[in-house]
Structure 1
């Protein structure tokens, strides 16, 4: 069936007003806020693809992450506009660490930056502005005239980073989908994906879309069309040093030029058929079942001990406070929700995984999946890291346990690891030795993805 497309770009770079807060996401441990400096503008972009059966909508945003409740607020407003099918709407964050702090739950701005209640209230008000802008962007895109197009897919390579967990996987694949107008075969839009943390700029207080924005500019300037970047399984993929403003341009130029060369050369495969979509929410287990009262008592004792042994100025202290407040109030979380999503057409599977997924999942899924597979991450919501069993086993033995979520005790969040900042009471479930067993994070996620890709 024929495809048609509409694309709209919004420069949403926050300013005060209307944004009540200019606090920034990323780089926890100390307050970090924008004072009006902007390097590369922050974009939100919406692409609508109609396969003849109705619109399928992707919203990609230059922001570090959005928590679950923000994702649900956007989704609940948009899904009724696209036929009430959850699978037909997809959000991807670029994961730039030089954008605004969105949401007040995961990460927690009190734990991460020791912000005051007034600061946190301002972030919540900013989140409301952000949600309204994103919903409006989708509504405007749905109202646009649609251009009949043909769709084409191709893969290339570029190297701009390394594996910071000392794992063998360095993801260099560029996934690219282009749309050409059926009227004259002219280029209409470029969608491209790569897996690497968007931290090339480093830690400062300037808004910047980082290397994804620089690459987008290179492509748009060279080809004269809108380009949209989609982040991959970059949880352990770090951009090459040094992390400084000039590196944004350096790495973005390498990636952008590689995409331009791909577009200007042959080897593209035509995509056809209707787009089949599917959305599912997994419940990953933690290493501790906090439905067990005895486990809750042990956690309370452990976090009280952390209060006794950690300076009040430390983020580990603030995390312990939050955990103890949860124990005294609504209770500790018992599962880690993980939405996964698939778009499928003849010639291509797009698999979108929520959270900061590490590269091993992309490598293994691509190796075992027939045909072309584009793995995206930071999809829909981002509330923590999802490592494979090997990294989870190492705990503090690899990068002070940051990606594993624990250091020397797998029953409690490791101070300074991802489970502190997001915050969670314990890491994700894993097999202490050997391969991943049934019910562990790796096994549940790989099995669910395999089933979804085979539907």
Structure 2
């Protein structure tokens, strides 16, 4: 199957006044605003793959997260350009915590950083600039001349992190898809992926693409082509200590050199096409059905109690304020939407899972899927963590309940957990003991992945 490709890189590193806000995302309740300092530039990159039946587009961005409404704004503009097929457009973010905050919903800038209405409005204005830039980048890449290429896939291995949620899984696979020019077999571009939180720099106010950017630089400098990083199921994968600017270079060099060595050696598997794509969304339930009026009353009483328990300058207090406002207004959310996407390139499947999925999903899906499978996380939108049943059961017993979303009460968001910062009223539904039962988070996600892979 003949392929053709186009690749374009945009340095979108925010600067005032083009970007009205330089508030940064990540690190929970830390109030962080960039003041013009940049270490490694932030990239947005677009790749178009055409198998002769129309273009398929991947957009990857150095940013911590994209909330649902931002994803939908970009998608609604791009999908008409790719045959009106939702499956033909995929977004992946690197999850660098040293980038701008995009969006004003999940996570909540008020809950996280106690920002003023004016600051939040500035973030919304920056979000508008960001959306326009991403759409323009896709349009420009689609308009480029495409280079005939052959595609090749290979997996390597390295270790730059550990499992912070006290789970046994440490993901070490390095996935790589390379394109070579049909005309002379020279390298055209490198797509590579790994699963680890992009927080090796640590908590400061400097824009930086973190270890994915450092690895990209190593690959591009060594091979002379554009390289694109795609994050994996890194919700519980933490980079090795110390978290520092030097560690960005250290870990990025390890990962980048692994990819360079893979490219310079044999063992590549031909990807033959054609490309088929699928997109679906699964509604994950919360532990509480907020369609039940009695449950809403209990939630309101519980969050009112938090207002009496926590001081006003605590993020748990602000979260309780937001929950009570939602109860009095539009109502509490009843489901947690989760987009799932599959690209089948003929010999290679890419399964893209939204949100901060934990490594257990990579392990479980890999074991039940034959052939080459590249699992990506942080796909399309990131509105919270999606843990497997064991972590959800454990609550505060594992990593303070951060990835589970609850501490001492599974019917409420845990103070200091992801459900607080992402402004959800309760954690995701789980089976309290034993294996995941039908209708709970792990079972719904794995069943949806199985269905997707069998299409």
Normalised by the size of structure 2, how large is the TM-score?
1.00
Q: Which residue of 1 aligns with 2:141?
A: 141
Q: Which residue of 1 aligns with 2:251?
A: 251
- Give the deviation of 1:454 after TM superposition: 1.2
Q: Which residue of 2 aligns with 1:156?
A: 156
Q: Which residue of 1 aligns with 2:435?
A: 435
Distance 2:387 2:296 in 1: 25
Q: Which residue of 1 aligns with 2:277?
A: 277
SS of 1:97's partner is coil
Q: Which residue of 1 aligns with 2:423?
A: 423
Contact 2:166 2:399 in 1 (8 A): no
- Give the deviation of 1:166 after TM superposition: 1.3
Contact 1:355 1:377 in 2 (8 A): yes
Distance 1:48 1:171 in 2: 28
Q: Structure 2 matches for 1:328-343, cutoff 5 A?
A: 328-343=328-343
Q: Which residue of 1 aligns with 2:326?
A: 326
1:42 aligns with 2:36: no
- Give the deviation of 1:288 after TM superposition: 0.2
Distance 2:385 2:275 in 1: 29
- Give the deviation of 1:367 after TM superposition: 1.0
1:219 aligns with 2:215: no
Contact 1:6 1:147 in 2 (8 A): yes
Distance 1:345 1:170 in 2: 27
* Poorly superposed stretches of 4+, deviation over 6 Å: none
1:390 aligns with 2:378: no
Contact 2:23 2:34 in 1 (8 A): yes
Distance 2:233 2:27 in 1: 19
Q: Which residue of 2 aligns with 1:452?
A: 452
Distance 2:30 2:383 in 1: 20
Distance 2:77 2:345 in 1: 26
Contact 1:30 1:114 in 2 (8 A): no
1:66 aligns with 2:56: no
Q: Structure 2 matches for 1:373-412, cutoff 5 A?
A: 373-412=373-412
Q: Which runs of 5+ in 1 are unaligned?
A: none
Contact 1:25 1:101 in 2 (8 A): yes
Normalised by the size of structure 1, how large is the TM-score?
1.00
Distance 2:408 2:110 in 1: 25
SS of 2:212's partner is helix
- Give the deviation of 1:31 after TM superposition: 1.6
Structural RMSD (CA): 0.4
Distance 1:327 1:95 in 2: 31
Q: Structure 2 matches for 1:343-354, cutoff 5 A?
A: 343-354=343-354
Distance 2:98 2:277 in 1: 32
* CA displacement 1:114-137 (0-9 Å, x = unmatched): 000000000000000000000000
- Give the deviation of 1:247 after TM superposition: 0.2
Distance 1:32 1:16 in 2: 16
* CA displacement 1:283-309 (0-9 Å, x = unmatched): 000000000000000000000000001
Contact 2:394 2:401 in 1 (8 A): yes
Distance 2:200 2:348 in 1: 30
Contact 1:45 1:61 in 2 (8 A): yes
Distance 1:333 1:425 in 2: 8
Contact 1:158 1:258 in 2 (8 A): yes
Q: Structure 2 matches for 1:59-208, cutoff 5 A?
A: 59-208=59-208
Contact 2:198 2:239 in 1 (8 A): yes
- Give the deviation of 1:18 after TM superposition: 0.4
Distance 1:200 1:185 in 2: 36
- Give the deviation of 1:30 after TM superposition: 3.2
The total of aligned residue pairs comes to: 455
